[in-house]
Structure 1
Amino acid sequence: MTAKDLHTSQARLIHTKGAGSATLQRLVAHFGSLQTALQASPDSLNRAAGKNIADKIPRSDDPQVRRTLEWLSQPENGLLTCDSSDYPSLLRECDSPPAALFYTGDISLLKQPLLAIVGSRTPTRGGTQNAHDFSADLAARGLGIVSGLAAGIDAAAHRGALDADGITIAVTGTGPDRVYPAGNHALAVEIAARGLIITEHPPGTQAHPGHFPRRNRIIAALALGILVVEAAEKSGSLITARLGSEAGREVFAIPGSIHNALTKGTHKLIRQGAKLVENAADILEELAPLLAQARSDVNSDRIDSKADKSLPDPEYEALLDLIAHDPVSVDKLIQKTGLTAEVVSSMLLLLELNGHVESLPGNCYCRIASSPN
């Protein structure tokens, strides 16, 4: 089956009226893949779906299907369905996981350890700066930043990661061919070129209030933790934090003035058990075991917990051998290892958390005197 035929099968099922993510998930569970489901008899299809959908599947020349196929024909665009081995395991575990993700950019970034940064659409200047600086610091240390491409804190978080040449992923509540708000169009173009934009909504989908809480569940599911920078008492960011907490994610919050309405939400989270953070190190310390496990999953190798100071595998040993007690830049390590910036940054993060190296100003690292080897 060609890529075009595969996309046609997927698009027809995705645009079937009444066949939401839950129905498509049932079809995959029964038939093994969406394209196999489409090849099944109408009776088999209806029994597996639990509803009469066989007659509702649109033809290949349906306008919505054609629009989706036209968008997918662009080389930078793609479609990741729940029957793919590349579908993120963390997302698969959430309530009502999306059956399909439309994306622009590097889909492999979903395999990297991620932190969600969310907050008010109308933050204070200090809140905007905090979102940018936390994001830049964490991204420079190899932690990917995921947010919702909204105005305010979301945009500042994406910008911070980009400024640090790190990973950032935007999850949107519109179709992949739409940007909301429109003022973030230039930012979206940059994220697509250097990071990743994903959405569960097909091309042509306009912004709708009901889409954003559903977008938030994807943000919460993909991340190891959620940092709320500024949020009013009834902010949508608190929904993301709640969804993350219910899914077992770590929740972090930055405190602020008791006179600032935009800290009412963050203070509420702290009272409910969120970790109060003052700098990026507070987050990294809390996430250390999860980051080690995430890196282990990417490499398919076992990495012990933060307390184990042994090096995880020969690749790490080779990287550590290149780091002396004098500062060496990340760019130099990338050049010497031949690895990508994302991989080197992620490895350095774990070496730092396990006490082998320390980060220095100027995006440099040096070996800690007590480090073995």
Structure 2
Amino acid sequence: MVQDPELRARLALWRVPGLGARGWWRLIDHFGSPRHVLAAPPAELHRCGLPAAVVEAIHAATPESADPDLRWLEADPRHHVLSPGVDPAYPTRLAELADAPPLLFVKGDPELLSWPQLAIVGSRNPTHNGQELARDFAQTLAGRGLGVTSGLAQGIDTAAHQGALEAGGVTVAVMGTGPDRIYPARNRALAHRVAAEGALVTELPPGVGVRRSHFPRRNRVISGLSLGTLVVEASLNSGSLITAYQALDQGRDVFAIPGSIHSPLARGCHRLIRDGARLVESVADILEELDVQQALPLAIPDRTAGVTADNGGSDAGPDPEYAALLEAMGHDPVALDTLVGRCGLTADAVSSMLLLLELQGRVQALPGGRYQRTGPEDV
């Protein structure tokens, strides 16, 4: 087992119940290092303004407290523990925060935590259209070279991770549990794939299970890793609004997709827009605001619709359904219901196809729920 005394001290101190990131940094500012904190007399710890229970827990901590973390670290070469100022792979954007996690437990490629990335978050119980939007935005952004970060939850988070993976892009999942506990359990296969192709990350040590208080902590890491946060669907009490407002507090960009005024899942996004979030209708809105478009590749792979969207054509022929949809649109503004009737497809299918065509610059969304062709004749 690893015998590095500094690492052991960091791990042991971070396991102290009730300490938290801000308490950690206050102690480090005063004592200089975790080893000095653990060796400090209780009276000196009290002078740092810590609760009596935390002082008692620090006094009781021993180097052996780190053993579960070290066993996890040594169990797999893809397991990593990162500390700011110690490990070069610790992401700079996260280290800038006043409450930056003192430790990150990473399964996967730690270098991806510093990749330019956008957080995509939203409801755990989204509409079908919301899931498709999250998946399509994530797929297109990942295809452009931007990483996609989310929280591995059901709903929008799951769709965002899946979209990025389908594009062969970068995705990072921030967990609200220890690195050895997957929540929700139904996302176990997705978590394994993210770890294999991207990175799972958490500030919570191995063995720590699900608690409600962990998720706001997780959310600040999601926004802290990212250049900006996109909220797809959210009610007024959605946890994704916490992520968005934390992003604003961190000085990061916030984006929101508007929806129907009658939908409860649009109200959170509408509140964000009123509070200064950027209204988003296309991926271009995000790339322009983040000013990263010039640094990203032109290819926009699509692995679900059978359409090649690379801004430069393809040897493959046009997808028949997309060609039929464009033919049905004609060249005048047309409503969604009209297109559904002309194509014989479901409204969800037509909406998804229109979104992809809009992202490719071939269709423009107009006021009143109408659409018009803007691009070349073929798909």
Identical-pair percentage: 47
User: How many Å separate the matches in 1 of 2:201 and 2:217?
Assistant: 13
Q: Which moved more, 1:4-13 or 1:259-268?
A: 4-13
Number of matched residues?
Answer: 302
SS of the residue corresponding to residue 73 of structure 1 reads: helix
| Aligned match of 2:193 | 190
Matching residue's letter, 2:85: D
Residues 220-259 of structure 1 aligned to structure 2 (within 5 Å):
220-259=223-262
User: How many Å separate the matches in 1 of 2:40 and 2:58?
Assistant: 11
User: How many Å separate the matches in 1 of 2:300 and 2:206?
Assistant: 42
Whether contact under 8 Å (2:194, 2:200) holds in the other structure is yes
Whether contact under 8 Å (1:121, 1:150) holds in the other structure is yes
Q: Which moved more, 1:255-264 or 1:40-49?
A: 40-49
Whether contact under 8 Å (2:2, 2:70) holds in the other structure is no
Q: TM-score, normalised by structure 2?
A: 0.72
RMSD: 2.9
| Aligned match of 2:147 | 144
User: How many Å separate the matches in 2 of 1:17 and 1:260?
Assistant: 41
Matching residue's letter, 2:276: G
Matching residue's letter, 1:230: E
Q: Which moved more, 1:202-211 or 1:38-47?
A: 38-47
Cα 1:5/1:178, change in 2 over 3 Å: same
1:15 aligns with 2:15: yes
Residues 207-218 of structure 1 aligned to structure 2 (within 5 Å):
207-218=210-221
Residues 46-57 of structure 1 aligned to structure 2 (within 5 Å):
46=45, 52=55, 56-57=59-60
Whether contact under 8 Å (2:253, 2:277) holds in the other structure is yes
| Aligned match of 1:78 | 80
Q: TM-score, normalised by structure 1?
A: 0.73
Residues 33-52 of structure 1 aligned to structure 2 (within 5 Å):
33-34=33-34, 37=36, 42=41, 46=45, 52=55
Displacement of 1:29 in angstroms is 3.6
Whether contact under 8 Å (2:150, 2:160) holds in the other structure is yes
| Aligned match of 1:134 | 137
User: How many Å separate the matches in 2 of 1:67 and 1:91?
Assistant: 25
Whether contact under 8 Å (1:178, 1:205) holds in the other structure is yes
Whether contact under 8 Å (2:28, 2:37) holds in the other structure is no
SS of the residue corresponding to residue 64 of structure 2 reads: coil
Displacement of 1:259 in angstroms is 2.2
Displacement of 1:365 in angstroms is 6.4
Displacement of 1:242 in angstroms is 1.0
| Aligned match of 1:271 | 274
| Aligned match of 2:24 | 24
SS of the residue corresponding to residue 251 of structure 1 reads: strand
User: How many Å separate the matches in 1 of 2:59 and 2:221?
Assistant: 28
Highest Rg: 1 or 2?
2
Displacement of 1:60 in angstroms is 3.3
Unaligned runs of 5+ in 1: 293-305, 307-346, 353-357, 367-373
SS of the residue corresponding to residue 214 of structure 1 reads: helix
User: How many Å separate the matches in 2 of 1:149 and 1:19?
Assistant: 26
Residues 62-73 of structure 1 aligned to structure 2 (within 5 Å):
62=65, 65-73=66-74
| Aligned match of 2:344 | none
Unaligned runs of 5+ in 2: 302-306, 313-379
Displacement of 1:182 in angstroms is 0.7
